[in-house]
Amino acid sequence: MKEKDFSNSFWEKDYAGENLSGEDLSHKDLSGANLIGADLSGANLSEANLSGAQLSGVKFTSANLSNANLERADLTNVDLGGCCLSGATFSNNPGMNQELLNNLINSGATITDSP
């Protein structure tokens, strides 16, 4: 497995399908990252920038996404059950379906321009 370097911006890196469970990614710039199918269960993503990230099929079980920016992030087939979403921002998200929107409404997330 390749060594993970989270010290800089992720934008040029491809972590599709990687096991990133339990990683501390708080305050990281993950904008535009390819994380398709990655396992981020239990990861700390508080205040991370995930805007425009490819998150289709990502496993977020019990992840901390408090105050994270998820604007324009692809949420196709994403399950945010059990996640801390307080203050997380969602806007113009491809893949946002009504079930996911309903789950976010009572989570403390900020939702704008959603279907």
Please report the pLDDT score of residue 103 as a whole number. 77
* Domain ranges within the chain, ordered by starting residue: 21-115
Scored b (16 or more CB within 10 A) or e, 19-55 reads ebeebebbebbbbbbbbbbbbbbbbbbbbbbbbbbbb
Other Cβ atoms less than 10 A from the Cβ of 59: the count is 18
Q: Which helix (H) or strand (E) holds 76?
A: none
Q: Within 13 Å of residue 45, how many CA atoms lie on the same side as its CB?
A: 31
Q: Phi and psi for 100 in degrees, rounded to 5? A: -65, -45
Please report the pLDDT score of residue 8 as a whole number. 54
CATH architecture under which domain 21-115 falls: 3 Solenoid (2.160)
Tens digit of pLDDT for each residue in 14-67? 899 999 999 999 999 999 999 999 999 999 999 999 999 999 999 999 999 999
